[in-house]
Amino acid sequence: MRRVRFIRNPLSTHIGHNVEEFLQELGGPACIFLDGDDTSRTRAFVTLLHGNEPSGAIALFQWLKSGRRPAVNAVCIVASVTAALTSPVFSHRMLPEDRDLNRCFRPPFDDAQGALAEEILEILRLHHPEAVVDMHNTSGSGPAFGVCTHMDRQHDALVSLFTQRLIISNLGLGALMEISEHSYPTVTVEVGGRLDDEAHVLATEGLERYFLAPTVLAQRETDWGLELLRDPIRLELNEGVGLTYAERPSGAHAVTLRPDIEHLNFGVVPRDTALGWATGDIRRLFSALDAGGRCAVSKLVRIENEELYPAMDLKLFMITNNAAIASTDCLFYAVAADGSTILS
Ligand SMILES: [Zn+2]
């Protein structure tokens, strides 16, 4: 059964008046193919893998409204349309009964989300794009960054269309980036917080650069001046450990984080910065694995007088203040303050 609707060169008058109407027109997962000036090459744009991350869909809607033609063919995949349209709009990462689509890009593909992921991979294979950009928002507020599984001049060039910050990470989570990467240069671009207007603006302007540039891949080695963050470690909450965000420790939860913790995104966080409060043994509360698969919890956090601190000077990112996301995904990603890999 095919799940993805195919649409070619939609007219700007047939896509609704705003992004919500645009998604209603699509009605479900869709692949929009745009003929380019040069029809011998194709670039892929994937977005809305997560239904609560609107910037990519907004950017695509704006592009289609503009009626312009891309430099080369563009194959645009808009995935979690149903989750996005489920009321309240743009609030569901996925539907309650579904798996996270960006963890489904590896076998087995045997449920609905797996089948959709497999079909997206098939569409990419069919069009053999010269590059793939997968656009996301972070759930918390914060600056934009790119993510790729390894670094070379192609990834640098692609990311620099959107942002100057690049995370090199290969966590084997089943993300699109990890799989697609084997065939085409693929980057994930996190354009900023899902509720931030500046994220929507960056998405729109970045997509224009991606679609309009005659070449997006580097012909030669170029110094793009990117800030690199290598092999971040995810700090995860162990199952059954209660978490809340509050100004003071909550008796009802083992871990309380400061409500303004997302303001620490991407800055250097010195080891004497209080992150919140926690009671108990850190290894009981948290899990974290370094790139070699060893426990790295004690490299990331420490508890002193029931207050939670970084174990060393760190750079933190993907910090959320949404307890549901933090509990099911992770609290944050961390590298050493100089951007280097943390190893246990
Ligand atoms: Zn996402």
For residue 265, how far is its CA from the centre of ligand 1 (angstroms)?
16
Strands 332-336 and 314-317: what pairing? Answer: antiparallel
Which residue has tokens 């793009």?
A: 224
- Please give the Cα distance from 319 to 140 (Å, whole number): 6
How far is ligand 1, taken at its centre, from the CA of residue 38, in Å?
31
How many angstroms is it from 325 CA to the middle of ligand 1? Answer: 11
Q: How much distance in Å is there from the Cα of 286 to the middle of ligand 1?
A: 23
User: For residue 51, how far is its CA from the centre of ligand 1 (angstroms)?
Assistant: 8
Q: Which of 126, 132, 20 shows the shortest CA–CA distance to 76?
A: 132
Give pLDDT, residue 260: 93
Q: What's the CA-to-centroid distance between 279 and ligand 1, angstroms?
A: 31
For residue 100, the CA-to-ligand 1 centroid distance in Å is: 9
Q: What are phi and psi of 252, to 5 degrees?
A: -85, -10
60 exposure class (CB count in 10 Å sphere: 0-12, 13-18, 19+): buried
Q: How far is the CA of 85 from the centre of ligand 1 (A)?
A: 16
Q: What is the DSSP letter of 265?
A: B
Q: How far is the CA of 189 from the centre of ligand 1 (A)?
A: 9
How would you classify the pairing of strands 227-230 and 243-245? unpaired
CA of 138 relative to ligand 1 center, distance in Å: 7
Contact 344, 287 (CB under 8 A): no
Ligand 1 centroid to 235 CA: how many Å? 18
Model confidence, pTM: 0.87
The Å distance, Cα 174 to ligand 1 centre, comes to 13
Alpha-carbon span 285 to 156, nearest angstrom: 37
Distance 82 CA to ligand 1 centre (A): 15
Q: How far is the CA of 102 from the centre of ligand 1 (A)?
A: 7
39 Cα to the center of ligand 1, angstroms: 30
Other CB atoms closer than 10 Å to residue 78's CB: what's the count? 26
Rounded to whole angstroms, the maximal C-alpha distance in the chain is 64
Cα(53) to centroid of ligand 1, in Å?
Answer: 6
Check residue 1 and give its pLDDT: 63
Ligand 1 is an ion; its neighbours by CB within 5 Å are 50, 53, 136
CA 98 / ligand 1 centre spacing (Å) = 15
Ligand 1: centre distance to CA 236 (Å): 17
What is the CA(68)–ligand 1 centre distance, in A?
A: 27
Residue 181 Cα to ligand 1 midpoint, Å, equals: 17
Distance 1 CA to ligand 1 centre (A): 26
Q: What is the pLDDT of residue 267?
A: 87
Going from the Cα of 220 to the center of ligand 1, the distance in angstroms, rounded, reads 31
* Chunked mean pLDDT (size 10), the chain, 344 residues: 91 96 98 98 98 98 98 98 97 94 94 96 96 93 90 90 92 84 90 96 98 87 85 94 95 94 91 96 95 92 97 92 88 90 80
